Each structure stands twice: as structure tokens, then as C-alpha cells.
Amino acid sequence: MRRTLVVGNWKMHGSFADNADLLAAISSQATRFPEVESAVCAPFPYLAQVRELLAGTPVKWGAQNSSEHVAGAYTGEVSPAMLREFGCHYVIVGHSERRTLHHETDALVGAKAVAVLSNGMTPIVCVGETLDEREAGHTAQVVTRQLDAIIAALGADALARVVIAYEPIWAIGTGRSASPEQAQAVHALIRQRLAGVDAGLADDIRILYGGSLKPGNAGALFAQPDIDGGLVGGASLVAADFVAIIMAGQSAQSA
């Protein structure tokens, strides 16, 4: 059985004081839900603090982006080798905000996933369609194109070590989550596509849902057969909400 994974994406939020309170609350509660794996992906300047405060707790940590290069003349970039030195377990790759605001292409997202994996961390690769694409009936086509770029970049062996996050762009930060049925349909499509590469891989790989996940909708989403946890933005900044989502993961896991 796939172990539920709940990952917080802090985006560009935080301060030393707020982080300390948030991390203390999350890490003290997370021990109550041993069947769920949890992690937070913090902005780069806070990784040292996050490592210090989460070391020895069940909560893992990670980053929200990585360079595809390991070292060199890339001013302003952060190397996957450096993230590894911070003890990062996860790196979010290809978040829609990176694809849209920073023009990251499918090929670049694939190269970043390779770089993260080859530096010993797990990429959480995001895919998802815009509202226009959904309304035009192009969801399957868009998600398949994004996924195929990852499959091509990684190949079957490496693919087994990634996490995929389906994040419909129209649901991110809007308060309008995909319904459990809408999300399940896309998760099933992703798993089916992965099964075309390797059936065992498709069974094992974790596919997270992201997009306005809240305590009130997490249970129904996590109850879907192909939803293995969540990538949580806004609600990961509120300790009680993030913990409630982890708790929903535990209920789904034990159901």
C-alpha cells in the first residue's frame, strides 16, 4: 500500500518568528499520525532554521525549486547539491507558478527533476491544466504532455523515485478545489499513463492532489483510490489546518 504523503508549500511566506511557532505546532502533532509522511517546503533562506527545528521529528523538509545545474555561473540560482547539504528530502519541481511566472518549459522541468534525483532528493513534479484548458476539454492532453516530458527525461528506473502532484491551476489559491471525482479522473489517467511505462511502477508511485486543499475537503479527496496525499499551499501556513489535513490522510490510510 502506498504511504500517504502530505507536503506543505509555504510559497514566499514566513519569518523566523512565525516559522518557529508553526514548526513547533506541526512537529509536536505529527507524531500522532505515524502512518502519514509529512513534509514542509520552505523558502531557501529558512532551510537552515527548518532543518534545525525539524531534525529528530517525523516531519521532513524540502525546497520549492532547484537549478538544473549543480554549480557554475548561474547568478541567483540554487544548486541541488546545496539543497542536499541542507538535508532536503523533497524539492517541488514545475509548480504552475514557476511554469507561468518564470516560463519554465516541460523540458526544463524534466531537467530539474533529473538534477534533484541525481543529488539524492525526491522531486515532487507538478502537472495541471488552466481553467481555459479544462473548459476546452484539453485537461487530459495537457497533463499527458507534461507527464510525458517527465517520463522522457527520467526513464522507468528513475521515475519510480519521484512523486507526482496534480494541481489544477484554477484550484490553486482560489478556494475552489477540484471535486473528488474530477481529481480522481485525472489521477487515474496519470497512473494509467505510468502503467504504460511499467505496471509495478504505476502501482507504487504516489500521486498527490493540490489546489485549495483544506481540512473540510481533504477526507473526501484522500478517499479516492488514486489520490495518495496532498500538496498544500495556504492551509500549510496554519498549523491546525495542516495537522487536520495530515489527520485526514491517516484516516484515509487506515480505512
Site residues (CB under 6 A) for ligand PEP?
9, 11, 167, 172-173, 210-213, 231-235
Smaller CB separation from ligand PEP, 213 or 244 = 213
Smaller CB separation from ligand PEP, 229 or 234 = 234
Distance of CA 226 to the CA centre of its chain: 15
Of 95, 129, 133, 187, the catalytic one is 95
Smaller CB separation from ligand PEP, 120 or 173 = 173
Alpha carbons 179 and 227: distance in angstroms, whole number: 12
Of 89, 129, 167, 187, the catalytic one is 167
User: What's the closest the beta carbon of residue 7 comes to ligand PEP, in angstroms?
Assistant: 9
Smaller CB separation from ligand PEP, 41 or 154 = 41
User: What's the closest the beta carbon of residue 152 comes to ligand PEP, in angstroms?
Assistant: 24
User: What's the closest the beta carbon of residue 77 comes to ligand PEP, in angstroms?
Assistant: 21
Of 216, 225, 226, the C-alpha closest to 247 is 216
Angle between helices 139-159 and 180-195 (to 10 degrees): 50
138 is catalytic: no
Alpha carbons 190 and 232: distance in angstroms, whole number: 20
User: What's the closest the beta carbon of residue 149 comes to ligand PEP, in angstroms?
Assistant: 19
User: What's the closest the beta carbon of residue 15 comes to ligand PEP, in angstroms?
Assistant: 19
Our CA dihedral for 81, 82, 86, 92, rounded to 10 degrees, sits at -70
102 is catalytic: no
Cα–Cα distance list, 107 to 68, 150, 152 (Å)? 11, 8, 9
Smaller CB separation from ligand PEP, 202 or 217 = 217
For 180, other C-beta atoms within 10 Å of its C-beta total 17
E strands present in the chain: 5-9, 37-41, 59-63, 90-93, 122-127, 163-166, 206-210, 229-232
Of 178, 179, 172, 166, the C-alpha closest to 208 is 166
Q: CB of 108 within 8 A of CB of 75?
A: no
Catalytic residues: 95, 167
